[in-house]
Structure 1
Amino acid sequence: MTGDLTSIHDDAPYAREVLSTLTLQWPESAILLPTGLTHLADRVTDRDFVHTVQYLNDHGFISYDAMLLGVEPEPRVIGALITRRGQHLLGLIDKVGC
């Protein structure tokens, strides 16, 4: 897993913020919006947000019920939850400081 941390910023630029947001909501699910990410609301691009969420979901770090694109002014992820694997990744990111 530590080898993956060297490229996590390229693969999922907002991984720390998405995982941290979901950790604060756990065990409840959350609605994720680019403007709702802690400390980054004004700097998150929709493209990087969607790419991050898809990467985290594809690799088992989060799960979600639906992603809505083009319906609202910004992308929206409904029913998002952090997985145990995602909690582990967040711990590694925080430890390494990526």
Structure 2
Amino acid sequence: MAKTTYTQRRRCVDQNEMLRSWQSFEWLLKEEVEKLDHLMFRMYQEARTLGVSKEYYQQFVNEHMCELIDKVAEEREFRERQGVKGGKHKSA
């Protein structure tokens, strides 16, 4: 039988640890995603009422949500570099 390499063992450990971590956070993430889904659906309904096409709405939201996610991550990273841990802080 072939020996397992360090890389293979490391990958197995990584997978197991990430699965445990995911399982412990999944319910919290699901709650937040459900809230976001509700807001996004309300925005979709408003956009459609105003005559925005489904295709344009999807393209617009995809682009802007990616930008917003990046912005939120950048702000968190900035706060961490400044020594501010946890909590929500508004950027100036």
Q: TM-score with structure 2 length normalisation? A: 0.31
Larger Rg: 2
Greater share of helix residues, 1 or 2?
Answer: 2
